[in-house]
Amino acid sequence: MLRRELGYFFGAVRFFTRLPVPAWVGHSSEALNRSARYFPAVGLLIGGIGALVYVVATYLWPQPVAVLLAMVATIHATGAFHEDGLADMVDGLGGGWEKVRILEIMKDSRVGSYGVVAMVLALLGKFTLLNSLDGTLVPYALLAGHAVSRFCSTALLATMDYVREDLLAKAKPLATRISGGETLVALLFVVASLVWLPTEKALAGCVLAALATLWLAAKFRRWLGGYTGDCLGATQQVSEIAFYLGLLAVWPR
């Protein structure tokens, strides 16, 4: 039982990151489907890497430099997997006006002007938002932001249909909807990531991340009738930014 669950977790780590996993971990579409419950746990791992780099860097450099190094560390750990999805999704929705054409653009390995602008804004946005936080909150924001945003992607797996039919699609092994129980397990990792943040800030971050996810999901349903792997990556990126916006929001009294 424990070995099986560890296999699912390491399977998710192997799929979404460049981090090494034990040699005994096998690979199958079924196992990868079952690993969806651990996507937020992978977020905790990536956020933890960023948080560690940030804390160490603050002993040597100012906060902006530490934030930049933390972002570099998380991008290196994931191989810019989600950033690539954001660029492809924005290129597709920005340049296509029907489902077939949008999917063709998303599939193209070249990055267009829409995608470049989206990546630049996303990276600058995360840097600005994290640097605007109280320095003591940044490590916890990284942990929670990466976990919450990956749960937002997982929510699409639980509620929407996969729309690509080609076998080479990056999210093809994840095309089966996950169960309510698996979604609950994923949610537990999200809760664990939020305990170090002030309750009001954590709640605001989750609300904005959820709103961003609902907005994207509506777009995906309208233009595609479901999601692709690029849609999952884009959702992770946008909801992460929305979460940081929530942490910084000053609500009227």
Q: In which residue are the tokens 């933890």 written? A: 48
- Per-residue pLDDT tens for 43-75? 999 999 999 999 999 999 999 999 999 999 999
pLDDT < 50 stretches in the chain: 167-168, 175
pTM score, whole prediction: 0.93
Say what the pLDDT of residue 170 is: 52
Residue-range domain boundaries for the chain: 40-248
The residue among 86, 91, 92, 90 whose CA lies nearest residue 164 is 92
Say what the pLDDT of residue 95 is: 86
**Sign of the CA dihedral running 6, 9, 11, 13:** negative
- The 3-state secondary structure of the chain reads CHHHHHHHHHHHHHHHCCCCCCCCCCCCHHHHHHHHHHHHHHHHHHHHHHHHHHHHHCCCCCHHHHHHHHHHHHHHHHCCHHHHHHHHHHHHHHHCCCHHHHHHHHHCCCCCHHHHHHHHHHHHHHHHHHHHCCHHHHHHHHHHHHHHHHHHHHHHHHHCCECCCCCCCCCHHHCCCCCHHHHHHHHHHHHHHHCCCCHHHHHHHHHHHHHHHHHHHHHHHHHCCCECHHHHHHHHHHHHHHHHHHHHCCCCC
